[in-house]
Amino acid sequence: MDRRTFIKSALVGSAAALTAQADEAATAAPSSQAPVSHWRGNPIAVSTYSFWRFGVGKKLTMVECIDHAAIMGFDAVELLEVQIEHAEPGKKKSNAYLQSLKRRAAVNGLDICGLSTHQGFVSPDKQKRRRNIDKTIASIELCYKLGIPIMRVNTGTWGTSKNFDELMKNRGIEKPLEGYTDEDAYPWVIESLEKCLPTAEKCGVTLGLENHWGLGRTPEGVLRIVNALGSPWLAVLMDTGNFLEEPYDKLAKLAPRAVFVQAKTYFGGGVWYTLDLDYQRIARLLRAANYHGYVSLEFEGRAPGAEAIPQSLQLLRRTFGA
């Protein structure tokens, strides 16, 4: 065999081997994740919720939150939608203002990686669900304007708790409205999210259904909704702090479908509850699921944010870094 023939045969063999490896990886990878050949660690973000609600003494503007995130050394920032309106009333609908946030993040070297929204589809009132569908579609379009790829959605709750403090006192468990059960609510949520998906696809925004309260209180509830729709534009947003008992097996059920992770810390003791989370264990289960996306800090402790948020970043860097 001459040298040219040998090289050609070697290249063909190598290409075939690489193709086989790629096919095997694509088959093995979860549907929500792209196949990756090696572990490179997760980029660490911070939710503006961490600055706005806890340990800073005042409600910061979005620009101040972005600046704090950059100074502290995060890779990205996740925006809390209600904060945009509450911190600076009337600006949410101003395109000039929204583009100024995008620019502020860019010059600070930060991605705007997510938008956390609130909606409530757990209601027998069709008009109420329609209003929440319209609200969610508007939030998707807001993501498009800001170049945000992933948006947090939740199911909503029955609303029978007096307030959020009472809901937390009851460990997130809430009685349905009289005459209804959770089984009645699943079709409402599924139908409502289905109406949001065409806009999500058009705008290129993946909806991440969070393990939150309401029907999202269990992994089975979250996956039932996601699986019912079977769309690449609806996946799971995994929150490490919303399973209050025996979290790890529950988180492991969600990890293969996760497109975004929110990581809670409680330095100084939690406001509503404190979880002693083993982030080494959580990192291992995410690696096993081939999750390479953002891990976004949601600080919920009583310690001063200026100390506890950088401390939280160090924790997440140690456990989710390369």
Report the CATH number at residue 294.
3.20.20.150
Q: What is the pLDDT of residues 227-247, one digit of tens each?
A: 999 999 999 999 999 998 899
231 within 8 A of 249, measured Cβ to Cβ: no
Q: Is 5 inside a domain boundary?
A: no
- Residue recorded with tokens 């806009």: 199
Q: How many domains does the chain have?
A: 1
Of the listed ranges 39-43, 64-68, 89-93, 196-200, the one predicted with least confidence: 89-93
Q: Is 129 inside a domain boundary?
A: yes
Q: What is the pLDDT of residues 51-86, one digit of tens each?
A: 987 655 577 889 999 999 999 999 999 999 988 877
The pLDDT value recorded for residue 42 is: 97
How many residues are there in the chain? 322
Q: Is 85 inside a domain boundary?
A: yes
Q: Is 32 inside a domain boundary?
A: no
Find the domain containing 67 and state its range.
Answer: 39-320
Q: Is 275 inside a domain boundary?
A: yes
Q: Is 14 inside a domain boundary?
A: no
Q: Identify the burial level of 255 via C-beta atoms within 10 angstroms of its C-beta, where 0-12 means exposed, 13-18 middle and 19 or more buried.
A: buried
Angle between helices 95-107 and 62-72 (to 10 degrees): 10
Provide the strand spans (E) within the chain. Answer: 44-47, 76-80, 111-116, 150-153, 206-210, 234-239, 258-265, 295-299
The string of DSSP letters for 136-202 reads HHHHHHHHHHHT--EEEE-------SSSHHHHHHTTT--PPPTT--HHHHHHHHHHHHHHHHHHHHH
219 within 8 A of 154, measured Cβ to Cβ: no
H or E segment and range at residue 224 = helix 219-229
Give the angle subtended at the CA of 128 by the CAs of 123 and 134, to the nearest 5°. 120
